[in-house]
Amino acid sequence: RHSVPQWSFNDAFTEDEVAQLREREGALRRHGLEVDLLSGQETRRLEPRLSNDVLAALRGPMAQLDSYRLTLAFAQGAERHGATVLLREVTGLEHAGGRVTGLRFASGGLACDRVVIAMGVWSGAAASWLDFPLAITPLKGQNLRLRYRGGPLRYLMGGVARGHLFQRKDGMV
């Protein structure tokens, strides 16, 4: 089992990005967070695997969200409060008197008083069920999980204008 980093870096490769980090540092400090703007040399001393092109980095406390476990925790909490969790693909909504009265599934339906549309980037598909547009614009992104030789990363690393590189508890990066 690998330990999860306690600190994160947001690194900068251009002077414009360094200026953005300075602004972010001020905003975070105003909100009471302890952050440090490090030079490229200080950053590489803490994490020698970083590029020599890094001009600066903002170091601060790190938090990591496991969206799968969070979703399970929400479902378990809802069940503890009397909800029944069903794993079904909703294919439409039932309407009566200008209100949603139920859900449609391929295998039947379910009457309900309220509906929460929580389909992430696919929420726009519900617009045809509601008869009004939903302004949902997905953001493009990729996720590459890999295992590499060497010790675990000591920091979550992200760029001002680039993605993130971080160690998961299972050792994957």
Q: In 3D, which of 157, 132, 144 has the Cα closest to residue 47?
A: 157
Residue 63: the pLDDT is 63
For the residues 117-133, what does the mean pLDDT come to?
83
Q: Tell me: pLDDT of 133 over 60.
A: yes
Buried b (16+ CB within 10 A) or exposed e, 64-84: eeeeeeeeeeeeeeeeeeeee
Each residue's pLDDT tens digit, 3-50: 555 667 788 899 999 999 999 899 989 999 889 999 999 989 988 888
Q: Tell me: pLDDT of 60 over 80.
A: yes
Average pLDDT score, the chain = 84
In the chain, % of residues over pLDDT 70: 92
0.75 exceeded by pTM: no
Q: Tell me: pLDDT of 76 over 90.
A: yes
Phi-psi group of 32: left, alpha or beta (phi > 0 → left; psi -120 to 50 → alpha; rest → beta): left
The DSSP letter of residue 31 is T
For the chain, report the end-to-end CA distance as a whole number of angstroms: 13
Torsion of CA 163, 167, 168, 172, to 10 degrees: 90
In this structure, how many other beta carbons lie within 10 angstroms of the beta carbon of residue 136?
A: 15
- Block residue for tokens 């590489």: 44
Please give the single-letter amino acid code of residue 78: A
Q: Tell me: pLDDT of 79 over 90.
A: yes
Residue 2: the pLDDT is 47
